Amino acid sequence: MALGLFIGFILPVGLQTLPALALAFVFKANKVLTWTFTCISNPATVFILYPIQCYTGSLLILHPLNYTELSEKFGAIISADGFRESCSAFASLGWDIIVTFFVGGLFYGTILGFAGYWTGKCLVTLYRKQREQRRLKRERLRLQRENGKQRETAGTPD
């Protein structure tokens, strides 16, 4: 979860899958979950996420940008008809916006990456506890059945 969320904010849509999967192999993370959580930024969410991310990045580098202007500039990326067109639209935003994109992405990616890590860790711990409880319950039932069969065979005359 953490890797996917981090990469999902740090890199633009279309450039996320290969780095996310490479990092998942390096850190021995779940590849499917990593890829799934990179999809937080996708064609349906970028018109909201990217301007917010850039606006936050601009505040962090003390060079505030206008949110409305950012939304309009990202419209070209959203309406792009393919990977190359999307990349060229992103590159045409200008360095001031690209820098704020990466600064904001680093900010949100780090925060949500940590949140995803702890959430994932808690969910995995909970799952493992429940699985162990189910295993112990099955084991108790099996022992009870075996004890019942032993009592039945012990009470019958030969």
Give the per-residue pLDDT at 73: 75
pTM for the predicted model, two decimal places = 0.74
- pLDDT in the model for residue 155: 60
- What pLDDT sits at residue 85? 76
Instruction: Count the alpha carbons within 13 Å of 147 in the hemisphere toward its beta carbon.
Output: 6
User: In angstroms, rounded to a whole number, what is the distance separating the alpha carbons of residues 2 and 37?
Assistant: 8
Torsion of CA 36, 107, 80, 87, to 10 degrees: -100
Q: Rounded CA gap, 8 and 44, in Å?
A: 13
Does 158 have pLDDT greater than 60? no
Residue 113: predicted pLDDT: 94
Of the spans 7-16, 34-43, 73-82, 131-140, which averages the highest pLDDT?
131-140
- Burial of 78 per CB tally in 10 Å (0-12, 13-18, 19+): middle
Instruction: Give me the pLDDT at residue 21, please.
Output: 94
Q: What is the pLDDT of residue 74?
A: 75
**Cβ-Cβ contacts under 8 Å for 35 (sequence gap 6 or more):** 4, 17, 20, 21, 24
What confidence category does residue 18 fall into, taking pLDDT thresholds of 50, 70 and 90?
very high
CA pair distance 66, 87, nearest whole angstrom? 23
Distance CA 6, CA 3 (A): 5
Split at pLDDT 50, 70, 90, the class of 57 is very high
- Token couple for 59: 């505040």
Across 20-24, 46-50, 91-95, which has the greatest mean pLDDT?
Answer: 20-24
Residues 88-146: pLDDT tens digits? 777 777 888 889 999 999 999 999 999 999 999 999 999 999 999 999 999 999 888 88
Confidence band, pLDDT 50/70/90 cuts, at residue 78: low
Alpha-carbon gap, residue 108 to 145, rounded angstroms: 55
State what percent of residues in the chain have pLDDT above 70.
92
